Amino acid sequence: MKLFAFLAAGVYRGLWRYTSINDLITFAKGVAFGSALSMGAILLLYRFQNFSRAVFILDGLVLLFALVGSRLAFRLFREMLPLSSATDGRRVLIYGAGDGGELVLRELRNNPDLNYRPVGFVDDDPLKKDKVINGLRVFDSNGTLPGLCIEKGIQEILISSSKIPAETLRSLRALCRDSNIELKRAYLKIEPVDFE
């Protein structure tokens, strides 16, 4: 009955390596549905005689923790395994430390064929300075970017947001042109930026 409940709730549809909060909600629904079916079957067959109701609660909690733990273990092992791209590839800064930047980082780490080595984030927001996103530091872009690119040996800058002001884009283009650094947009797809 619980396997049927998991199938009905969609527990087996998700890819294990991409388990997210939405999947955890799906797991909770599947466990609740499975527990309800089990309780209904016991009620119909045995009228709950000689059965403790607490067992169903404990069973549901143990099942939920086992299911969530097994799925998250795959992500944990995947994050712990060293990737070949961790030391190889073009050294890149991700400009924009928001949701778009985090998505770009995830894409770069999941696709070693892109041949990028993310070094850190750069953001205009002073509140994000020195914060860490998925193990990479957020650097301040206000006046320190040229020195940072030299210090870190940056070969490319990937723009992860479409909300960067035109003036900032112009200064980025000038910096990249003068420092022989490639500038690319990565919020829709990775493509070269026209310097004209």
Angle of CA points 19, 23, 29, to nearest 5°: 150
Average pLDDT over residues 101-107: 88
The per-residue pLDDT of the chain, averaged, comes to 83
- Confidence band of 187 (pLDDT split at 50, 70, 90): low
- If one compares 24 and 194, the residue with the highest pLDDT of the two is 24
pLDDT tens-digit map of 1-49: 888 888 888 887 776 666 777 888 889 999 999 999 988 888 888 887 8
Q: How many CB atoms lie within 10 A of CB 116?
A: 25
Structure tokens at 135: 């193990």
pLDDT cut 70: percent of the chain above it:
87
Instruction: Please state which of the ranges 76-85, 111-120, 141-150 shows the lowest mean pLDDT.
Output: 76-85
Q: Residue 106 has what pLDDT?
A: 85
Q: Residue 87 has what pLDDT?
A: 57
Domains, the chain, in order of start with CATH, read 2-80 (no CATH), 84-192 (3.40.50.720)
Residues for the chain: how many in total?
Answer: 196
Pairwise CA distance, residues 169 & 153, whole Å: 21
β partners of residue 122: 95, 139
Q: Residue 85 has what pLDDT?
A: 44
Q: Residue 24 has what pLDDT?
A: 86
- Confidence band of 61 (pLDDT split at 50, 70, 90): very high
Q: Residue 145 has what pLDDT?
A: 83
